[in-house]
Structure 1
Amino acid sequence: MSLTDTTGLNNGVSMPWVGLGVYKMESGDEVVHAVRSALDLGYRHLDTASFYDNEEGVGQAIKESDLPREELFITTKVWNDEQGYEETLEAFDRSLRKLGLDYLDLYLIHWPIEGMYKATWKALEQLYKQGKVKAIGVSNFMTHHLDDLLKDAEVKPMVNQIEFHPELYQEEIVDYCKQRDIQVEAWSPIGRGTYLDNPILQDLAQKYKKTSAQIILRWDLQHGIVTIPKSTRKVRQQENADLFDFELTADEMGKINSLNKNNRLGPHPDEMGK
């Protein structure tokens, strides 16, 4: 595997296994430089959102890179106060303008806002049918949200992006998505670096001559999960991409699974959605 290796979504679109997340990167120089350095290193998958307020900077970096558009996989998301059918269509157009793109590769509902996400999904289906976006999906949806959405959906989500790291090993939703051919993607994959000194991770890092963060990202990939670590520093971006020359054993995967504490760093979807 390499940075350009992809997984096939349920509609046949190819999505790179590893990407760059840009949450909390400042719009302007910080995000432009971070995206440019990632693209220089070989990243081709970028994940932003309306809420991050840095879509223009991401778009500027894409333009400056001179890379062919078809080589890139660009994701953005519709925020909570933009949800609803017409509102989402308008939000999509705003995001596309800010990014300076003709189409998106993936558009996600950022959170399952109660009473809104079904109308929002209808808008995503419309954008998908019009060819304005290659794939559509959701973010932070639990099994009950997906059950509800799938009752009326004409198009099945291709992706569910969730908070996923060793201390929040959401096995139920991962299994649910795998059974329905919905690709799981991890946000905050290294748990914001809050427990990289865990002895299990440290021991594995020493064994494989890697960092604890690299061990976690490799664990993601071996679970079949797309991962989008954030870093503004080129050296860290390089480390986050250096995942393909080792493989964790089944026993080691189990040890990392056992770190689960159901420890959320972000909001619970049911609380955020009210």
Structure 2
Amino acid sequence: MSTPSTPLPSITLHDGTVMPQLGFGVFQVPDDGARAAVETALETGYRSVDTAAIYGNEAGVGRALAAAGLPREDVFVTTKLWLDGLSREGVRPALEKSLGLLGLEFVDLYLIHWPAPATDAYLEAWQGMEEIRAAGLARSIGVSNFLPEHLERVAALGGSIPTVNQVELHPALQNRETVAANTRRDIATEAWSPLGQGAALDDPAIGAIAGAHGVTPAQVVLRWHLQQGRIVIPKSVTPSRIAANLEVTGFSLTQEELAAIDALDRDGRTGPHPAQFHG
């Protein structure tokens, strides 16, 4: 198996779990294509894979994990609870179904996919999440697409705090209030759609930085995320891009370059707004 030219960074979550900072996402990858994509990623050197029940590709991911033959402790696997399991009683059967498809006895990280705040079901679900962690079915538990007010309500339950909040975050949508709320509670911020579905790659400022370093615009944006402490999960099914997305540790952006990308923030949301999405 090939490996990146320099070691990949990791982040220690507040519960002590060590998570690779750069992982491989499979959103919108069909199940019959997920095996090949994940096998390529693992062969290239990725050691973290992010999927979700609603993606419909957990079985393909599981086949790739089995085919890779890597020790279980060497691969960090994340999946997510969909809205139909958003209750205290619904969490365990949903995760058990995901584990069956993945061919695993546990996942490393299990996330509530959306708060769907029209009801308080996410609060009940959080208690179910604590129960599946205690049962050893997930090493760490967290959330996805939670706004500061949702995090506050989870904290008010008086139990554990999510280890991760996975949110849409890229140069055109930097989600600063949510990132600040995560930081206050020692919650790691994980960026989905870290390249803004490719839109960021056409920005002249990013292109200029890429030219200065002799790297691609995608590598610049991923490096920007990493240097600001975020976890990223870029997705691709193209082997050359899968490999290129991993080669982001051999250069560093200056403070001026980081600031230039920070300045691109606007309302460039590509997915639903968490306050308005109810499935």
* 1:248 aligned counterpart, secondary structure: coil
Asked if 1:120 is matched to 2:125, the reply is yes
- Give matches, 1:92-171, under 5 Å: 92-114=95-117, 115-171=120-176
Show the counterpart of 2:90.
87
Greater than 6 Å deviation, 4+ residue runs? none
Deviation (angstroms), 1:195: 3.5
TM-score of the pair, normalised by structure 2: 0.95
Percentage of matched positions with identical amino acids: 41
Q: Deviation of residue 60 (structure 1)? A: 0.4
3-state secondary structure, aligned to 1:152: coil
Q: Which residue of 1 aligns with 2:189?
A: 184
Cα-to-partner distance string for 1:42-92 (whole Å, 9 max, x where unaligned): 101000000000000000000000000000100000011221111121101
C-alpha contact 1:137 1:157 (8 A) present in aligned 2: yes
| CA–CA separation in structure 1 for the residues paired with 2:9 and 2:264 | 28
- Unpaired stretches in structure 1, ≥5 consecutive residues: none
- Aligned residue type for 1:218: R
**Alignment of 1:20 onto 2:24:** yes
The letter of the residue matching 2:17 is V
What CA deviation, in whole Å up to 9, does each residue of 1:209-245 have, x standing for no partner?
A: 1111111000000110000000111110111001011
> What is the alpha-carbon distance in structure 2 between the residues aligned to residue 131 and residue 153 of structure 1?
21
Distance in 2 (alpha carbons) for counterparts of 1:119 and 1:273: 16
Looking at structure 2, the residues matched to 74 and 153 of structure 1 have their Cα atoms a distance apart, in angstroms, of 27
Answer yes or no: is the 8 Å Cα contact 1:7–1:14 preserved in 2. yes
The answer to whether 1:211 aligns with 2:207 is no
One-letter amino acid of the structure 1 residue matched with residue 157 of structure 2: D
Q: How far apart are residue 273 of structure 1 and its match?
A: 3.7
| Paired residues for 1:191-270 under 5 Å | 191-270=196-275
Q: In the aligned structure 2, how far is the partner of 1:4 from the partner of 1:58?
A: 21
Deviations 1:147-170 (A, max 9, x none): 011100411100000000000011
> TM-score, normalised on structure 1?
0.97
Gaps of 5+ in 2: none
* Residue equivalent to 1:9: 13
In the TM superposition, what are the counterparts of 1:34-73 in structure 2 within 5 Å?
34-73=37-76
Is 1:31 the counterpart of 2:40 in the alignment?
no
Query: Secondary structure at 2:202's aligned position in 1?
Result: coil
Of stretches 79-88 and 252-261 in structure 1, the one that deviates more from structure 2 is 79-88
Number of aligned residue pairs: 273
Deviation, structure 1 residue 197: 1.4
SS in 1 for 2:189: strand
RMSD: 1.2
User: What's the CA shift string for 1:235-269, capped at 9, x where partnerless?
Assistant: 10111001011111111111101101121100000
Aligned pair in 2 of structure 1 residues 65, 264: CA closer, same or farther (>3 Å)? same
User: Separation in 2 of the partners of 1:144 and 1:22?
Assistant: 28
